[in-house]
Structure 1
């Protein structure tokens, strides 16, 4: 994960962002970018991705000027429970805002903010994939784990992880056909085979 980020963002300013933000110093930067310092690399990737997401959302607000359901969001902040979150996510105004933001991200992917915006948004998409994989393993979500493994093949292949890409291709085919090759194994996997305790 850190190695892929280091290779993808080589020369793009990612290392400079980490140093300027105080997330790394020159001594540990090489270990973060190579993936040897996994925890620091993951923390740094989360922090940079969140900063990029906030910057993109601010540009979206300035350009699109959407209606923001402030009252609903403030209520969620004051009473953050699973029930209030579920009711908030059913609000049509908030759903429209989220939908508009996703459409704006598609515009950015097509070059609305230039090639730099396209690059950093692709970096955010790859980071989200890493976060989803981490979440899938921690929560034993087999379907999400399966999806993330399949989506990471191209990413590894593109950034010089050919052996990982080769193995993930085989592993994806194995997971897809697991019911045929190993009947009833999926039931055991869903009971906790992939989770990290």
Structure 2
């Protein structure tokens, strides 16, 4: 005998909005960006992976909640906010990209050498993680504007289910990326592989920084 729909933990009418939120959030966060590359690198080095993933996911959840609640319309009334975030984010990406290019120039023989080097510590990792999240104008576009715009089509409990679905996508993605990164360890354990990875990351950070100020 099929279960009584009224006895299910989540009412069936809310499953659709929840799945819509999950699909919307996951599709937006899937694109390669500075935040994702940082999480990937932490996962490869196996440093503070849980806390980095948690900070990214919780930050996204807070921004998604604000977007679903309609904060995007409020943010549009502060014209200087986008400019400040753009230049602040570009400066941070340029500096971090320079650090990675410097590491590539010095050279590190694979993951073991990189992970065995000096660890800047949990505090430094979390500060960098927060900067990648909160100084990135694209994060606000994705969460406050795009996720919020789709969520505006729902009302009441359906909007709540949509927001929960979108926030859940962030947790699934970041923890999957952080802990799944170790699957690439055999590849990056090869000589000079980590050096090439740092070079690619550095160039990507500079490209993203240029994209912010030239758009």
TM bracket, shorter-chain basis? under 0.3
TM-score by length of 1: 0.28
TM-score by length of 2: 0.26
Q: Higher relative CO (CA 8 A, sep ≥ 6), structure 1 or 2?
A: 2
